[in-house]
Amino acid sequence: MAGHAKALTFSEATSSEVFSDRLSANGDGNLPRLLAAVVTHVHDLIKQFRPTQDEWRQVIAFLTEVGHASDERRQEWVLLSDLIGASALVEEINSRRPKAATPNTIRGPFFRNDAPERSSGSSISLDGVGEPLMVSARVEDLDGLPIAGAEIVTWQANGEGFYENQQPDLQPEHNLRGLFRADADGRFHYRSVMPSGYGVPDDGPVGRLLAEAGYPLRRPVNLHFVIRARGFETITTHIYDASDPHLGEDALFGVRPELVARFEPVDIDGKRAKAVNLTFVMVRTKPGRVG
């Protein structure tokens, strides 16, 4: 048409450019640029590896299977994002903090937002199966002052390396999950059982694909925490067992030196147990930003 540049014809050489031109002509903001970049990379991969129609249908079938494997108990898309390092990279970019602050990690695919509130000192192990663990912690700011009333959500695998929502028929509902509130000195403590390291689920499409590609699917022993307090950035993090031999190959890229703690042997009522003492350091939110 007169007054308009002639549209490019779609071809192997122009495919991503044709797509990007259509986006730039009709879209504003960062989303069109991000989508154009994603599509360009996809087209470049297709041109590099030149899959057959059947091979490309296998890619589509994999993505479809990932969607079918996701429900309210299991999020296979989150697992895919976690295992390729995308979740960790987004977290790294968006949660830069002073060195003294507790670093963020990803939540992982087994988080639930309905953990029951429990009183400090109570147990989150509803079946009592496993080596007893005592967890004591303090929540403070960068000046070492306590953050009273901070809300702490914790969850973990059991002694066999399984989360409760992986085994709904074998573990009690909300087993090894709890919500606690810090006291006036910023402290909370609870009883649990020692978790085990575990393999990332390989019974779904994501785990099967990466296992076939030779990717290590091991996670070291860890405890999960989400810590919230008014006026502070939310902490989403793990604590790792210093004695675990798999710290250097965490499948979800979460291990940081600041997050490695010693789970010390202790004796409780004549029984072998472990204890860990933790400190979480929160950063105040910047003006105009919600934690």
Sign for the CA dihedral angle at 166, 168, 171, 177 comes to positive
Looking at the domain assignment, is residue 245 inside a domain? yes
Looking at the domain assignment, is residue 2 inside a domain? no
Q: What is the pLDDT of residue 26?
A: 67
Residues 219-235, mean pLDDT to the nearest whole number:
97
Q: What is the pLDDT of residue 149?
A: 98
152 vs 236: CA distance, rounded Å: 10
Q: What is the pLDDT of residue 21?
A: 84
Find the CATH number of the domain harbouring 131. 2.60.130.10
Looking at the domain assignment, is residue 266 inside a domain? yes
Tens digit of each residue's pLDDT (9 = 90 or more) over 196-205: 999 887 888 9
Cα 290 to the center of its chain, rounded Å: 20
Looking at the domain assignment, is residue 202 inside a domain? yes
Looking at the domain assignment, is residue 156 inside a domain? yes
Tens digit of each residue's pLDDT (9 = 90 or more) over 96-107: 899 999 999 988
Pairing of strands 218-219, 198-199: antiparallel
Looking at the domain assignment, is residue 87 inside a domain? no
Looking at the domain assignment, is residue 56 inside a domain? no
What is the three-class DSSP state of 149? Answer: coil
pLDDT band at 211 (very low <50, low <70, confident <90, very high): confident
What range does the domain containing 278 cover?
Answer: 96-282
Looking at the domain assignment, is residue 122 inside a domain? yes
Which of the pair, 105 or 26, is modelled with greater confidence?
A: 105
Q: What is the pTM of this model?
A: 0.80
Q: Give me the number of domains the chain comprises.
A: 1
Which of the pair, 124 or 80, is modelled with greater confidence?
A: 124
pLDDT band at 123 (very low <50, low <70, confident <90, very high): very high
Lowest mean pLDDT among 20-29, 81-90, 180-189, 225-234: 20-29
Is residue 237 a contact partner of residue 281, using CB atoms and an 8 Å limit?
A: no
